[in-house]
Structure 1
Amino acid sequence: MRRIDTLDDIEEGIRALVAGDERLHAIRAAVASVPLRRSEPGFESLASIIVAQQVSTASAAAIWGRLKAHIDPLTPENYLAAGEEAWRLSGLSRPKQATLAHVSQAVLAGKLDLLGLCDHPADEAITTMTAIKGIGPWTAEVYLLFSAGHPDVFPAGDVALQAAVGHAFGHEARPDAKNLRAFAEIWSPWRGVAARLFWAYYAVIRGREAAPLL
């Protein structure tokens, strides 16, 4: 599988996107840069994505800093051993505490191979990940984008992406996940780069970052 590993890969993808969809010329011109945002695959990377669910970038960064201070190194074994008091002091909500516990248990039981998943087709990997209680499509898709470097994943449930695409194309209402997923098909096989482009565009139009913390 072709991976998005470098900024050169991003630029190649953007050139292909703009050549295939001329509407993206203006979007590319509006952003100064499109960040790579890659992290090493594994438990810590997935944990950072879970922390970032449904909170602001600033809140996610604060919680992540406390979690890493309480549990270092952050491994499945250490997470479970730290227990609820450390989880609570880190600022994790109860649902996120439980999700990270389910992930930890699945990894230790050999039911979730976070490294091996990086080599699987996206649909197969998403199905495997979402079988773990607490992991939804957004979490699985973001992991595949930023930890596996998958080139053709578009997290259509992301509110910032919905807002950015809606703004870019003059939609009266922000597209929902179903409609955005269908809308983004035109950008295959570079949907992973298109997602990064629109997160960068969101930062321009709203003045704040919204891409997941890694």
Structure 2
Amino acid sequence: MEDNQIILPTPSEFSFIQNLGYLQRSTNECMFQIHDNKVRKAIATDEGTALIEISKQGEQSLTIEFLGNTKPTTKKAVEQVMEYITDWFDIKTDIQPFYDISKKDSMLQQAVDAFNGLRIMGIPDLFEAMAWGILGQQINLPFAYTLKRRLVEKFGTSITFEGEQYWVFPTPSVIAKLTVEDLVGLKMTVKKCEYLIDVANQIEIGLLTKEMLLETNDVKKAEKILTKIRGIGPWTANYVLMRCLRFPSAFPIDDVGLHNAIKHVTGSQQKPTKEELLKLSEPWNGWEAYATFYLWRFLY
């Protein structure tokens, strides 16, 4: 194997093609690029920015290739890249228990049959996950992608390879220094600008960390910490707990997309009420995040 390549083993319940399909759901994504069934992404390390290309290698492994001269020189920085990819693709989670639950739930079984091997594609960076949750509040998905692109291209950093630009999400330290006036040109609401700056400040000064949330080891305690932050309601909190913190029982029960997905799968004319959804989701106990993600996949 070449010096700039690393082989990353994947579990049997993992499909690179299914995860690639999810990543391709928007043509306006700015955080990675996909060509010829390969994903290219810039990843920040302590040493600088690495540009990697991920491709399928056999049935149960991925090839990670460092492009250009961006392979880090230290073992620690290489490990940071590998940890990011492992987290991004949720490779460490054993999802067989979720598949076992699905066998007894006709709605989930349809989703598992359609998307077998899909993982909850994550957002490993806490600030990026919270920013994405804030940007997506009360707007449609295409406009959320537009807002994210504007934010990233104005305040993020990038590297260029073969004429293409690859972006790294703005850091909390950059956003914390801004004022609302600095952000209004992106065409998001004043409230969202305020929320984004507030969250950046809390992360920058250490009042909010990924470790703090993980150490609760309790989805309700972690949700409570997040919902104390201005602009972070239960939906945003659970979205972050799903996609960044990897709490399998995180459950954005009020999500409109989830309601529409259930309506789609069941063929119902009506969206489920909260009471109906609570009853429907009883068998998902402990795996609500995966159930939600798989059902979302029917629509997004």
TM-score, length-scaled by structure 1: 0.81
Unaligned runs of 5+ in 2: 1-86, 158-169
1:113 to partner: Cα distance: 2.3
- Alpha-carbon contact 1:17-1:194 (below 8 Å) kept: no
- Alpha-carbon contact 1:5-1:149 (below 8 Å) kept: no
1:95 counterpart = 2:179: no
1:182 to partner: Cα distance: 4.3
- Alpha-carbon contact 1:10-1:193 (below 8 Å) kept: no
Aligned to 2:288: 191
Aligned to 2:70: none
Deviations 1:25-73 (A, max 9, x none): 2333344763431121321221122112222222111111111122225
Larger relative helix fraction: 1
- Alpha-carbon contact 2:108-2:291 (below 8 Å) kept: no
Q: Cα distance 1:147–1:41, how it changes in 2: closer, same or farther (>3 A)?
A: same
Aligned sequence identity (%): 24
Unaligned runs of 5+ in 1: 204-208, 210-214
Larger Rg, first or second structure (1 or 2):
2
Q: Which aligned pairs between 1:71-90 and structure 2 lie closer than 5 A?
A: 71-72=155-156, 74-90=170-186
1:145 counterpart = 2:264: no
- Alpha-carbon contact 1:152-1:188 (below 8 Å) kept: yes
Q: Which aligned pairs between 1:88-127 and structure 2 lie closer than 5 A?
A: 88-120=184-216, 121-127=218-224
1:50 counterpart = 2:134: yes
In 2, Cα distance between equivalents of 1:198 and 1:167: 9
In 2, Cα distance between equivalents of 1:13 and 1:5: 18
Aligned to 2:270: 173
- Alpha-carbon contact 1:63-1:91 (below 8 Å) kept: yes
Aligned to 1:12: 96
Counterpart among 62, 74, 78 of residue 146 in structure 2: 62
- Structure 1 counterpart SS, 2:149: helix
The higher relative CO (CA closer than 8 Å, separation ≥ 6) is in 1
In 2, Cα distance between equivalents of 1:53 and 1:181: 23
1:157 counterpart = 2:241: no
1:165 to partner: Cα distance: 1.5
- Structure 1 counterpart SS, 2:179: helix
- Alpha-carbon contact 1:118-1:144 (below 8 Å) kept: no
RMSD: 2.6
Aligned to 1:212: none
Q: Cα distance 1:35–1:55, how it changes in 2: closer, same or farther (>3 A)?
A: farther
Larger relative strand fraction: 2
- Structure 1 counterpart SS, 2:210: coil
- Alpha-carbon contact 1:64-1:90 (below 8 Å) kept: no
